[in-house]
Chain A
């Protein structure tokens, strides 16, 4: 009887120590829900959601302070995934908010005066250049957020829609009617 109590107490002690150690070792830092939401957001950092970047929007959603339909670059697929993650209903974009085709910024090389204002505006360091030198947008890094367009004092930045090429082309969803008998009137 006594030995049983001792054994159980010892087991309890050991398990407690393991748990305590695990608590310290695998301590959850930050906000895991906000991280998960942020993973879904497209990281365009455009601010169209009304927050200064994707992470603040993710944190607001995690706290339940923001709706899931405010990120146009994420598209409908993004809303769907947010709804799945948060266990809420899918909702359409509000009036006046709609996803646009992906574009990249282009700097007119003959007009740029090298003022560095666009570099400072770009949230993802996609513009290279230095004071009084020509600036160039690295197309692969540009998220198409348009934040660099207005700060330019000589209006030399414009957005160009990314066209389909052999490199980024995707196979289409097959259009063969699967139920021809139903398609007929």
Chain B
């Protein structure tokens, strides 16, 4: 029995292009010779590297430890030797390189000991801690660290939603995963439900994946779970967290809030699968399934280790056909162009599409906005895209924010329907990143102002204290002078001596500037590392110290 489906605003139905890759079973990639593992594969702070060139590592060994609360661990995908820790090309819209650990595989694929986690005996919420070392991050695209999402605090979570909508054209990795590994996914979902203390599980799947829905229903029945699989109409972007939440529960997420705030937590099916492996098998996140499709010889879903160069994945899918003009990471609606296929597979990459001019024709040049309003009809977030565009284009950032720019999920529906072919989302992304940067700068300036004012206060206080001390000295001297008045010569000498002592004291105080009491562990680490380097660089200074 299908669950109730509630209506949602906007959306559209672009050509699906699912058939290219969804008929073949998941191909498990053979071991590569070399892996490039970026330390930033998740939202938040990059992991802090723990290895250096020359180290040997084992499969599943932590090579980057989470740095801060919103961060995730990074693991060696196989056993081998670290060749380098250096910036390498990565899959990022900027095309900028980022710090990566380059590992040469030794072919043995020796793993560290892996210990399953006894989750049934952990109280809800306690799983987050052991999970932090497992490196899980949401595989739907946002790559938010999963252990943070599993211990949300604040609102109690009533409902766990498993997102199997996979609404973007071309992408079929979740479809294949649900068809082939539904039981493991639902076991992962049950662990999530237990940890969140949620009452029910809702699974949302678009109606263009009947086999996947069938398999998931079978798994739920087999495991006897309090879960309901709901088939929703195929309409992009049904797989957005807010959109799927509304489709399945009828609850609208208020502006500026996330689903968590209304007691609903949404996870991707692939994340549930990775969680199952992490908890039941003790295996950290080492691989993922990725669709390699578009203008390649044999479009496939490939299960590959994280760090596999994307060019290897393309080769496994039969290689680029003649006329390929580039590659898209992610789907055609929300993805971006890849600059360098040497970049590795990371936790966020769910799809690689080889593009050619026939499949992806160039956009005709943009024309002025006619205020036709079609974008507003298509917008799933019920925004006024043309107003946002107007303000973003004029760099009127405060206005753009007031028009709820940050409720925009960058789904691309507005750009897709715009008869004037305006790249609307490009403007929103520009405006968003300007606002974020301006906020950061504002925060930094505020910190600088406070530290400066505190410094002025400190200097003022020191000045007053010094004045008070000198005043006390002078009066003491006067008293001493009165006592020794019978010997003017001795009194004069004593005065000179006192003055010299006072001067020396004062000099000592002024050079005793010290600024090391309130170091953060990060700064202390940095200083220690530099001190060590200094010792190594100049043994001559040893005996001086």
Interface residues of A (CB under 8 A from B): 38, 41-45, 53-55, 109-110, 116, 119-120, 123-131, 133-134, 136, 138, 140-141, 143, 164-174, 176-180
Contact = CB atoms under 8 A, between A and B. Distances in A.
A110 B516 contact: no
B366 A176 contact: yes
A43 B452 contact: yes
A136 B534 CA distance: 13
A170 B451 contact: no
A138 B534 contact: no
B530 A125 contact: no
B514 A53 contact: no
Given A54-B452, A166-B97, 19 more contacts: A42-B445, A45-B448, A110-B534, A116-B511, A123-B452, A124-B447, A127-B515, A131-B513, A133-B516, A134-B530, A136-B526, A169-B92, A169-B94, A169-B96, A170-B430, A170-B433, A170-B437, A171-B432, A178-B368
A166 B40 contact: yes
Contact of A53 (B367, B426, B452): B452
A57 to B, nearest CB: 13
Contacts of A176: 363, 365-366, 423, 426
Nearest to B447: A141
Nearest to B530: A109
Contacts, number: 126
A158 to B, nearest CB: 16
B365 A134 contact: no
Interface string B509-545: 0011111100100010011001101100110000000
Given A43-B446, A166-B94, A166-B96, A173 B516 contact: no
Contacts of B395: 173
B434 interface: yes
B449 A54 contact: yes
B46 interface: yes
B6 interface: no
B427 interface: yes
Interface residues of B, number: 54
A5 B96 CA distance: 78
B433 A171 contact: yes
B98 interface: yes
B110 interface: no
Contacts of B445: 41-43
A168 B452 contact: no
Nearest to B514: A130
B1 to A, nearest CB: 45
7 contacts: A123-B455, A128-B516, A131-B512, A141-B447, A169-B96, A171-B432, A174-B427
B429 interface: yes
Contacts of B96: 164-166, 169
B45 to A, nearest CB: 9
Given A166-B98, A171-B93, A134 B449 contact: no
Contacts of B454: 125
Contacts of B537: 110
A136 B448 contact: no
Contacts of A136: 523, 526-527, 530
B242 to A, nearest CB: 22
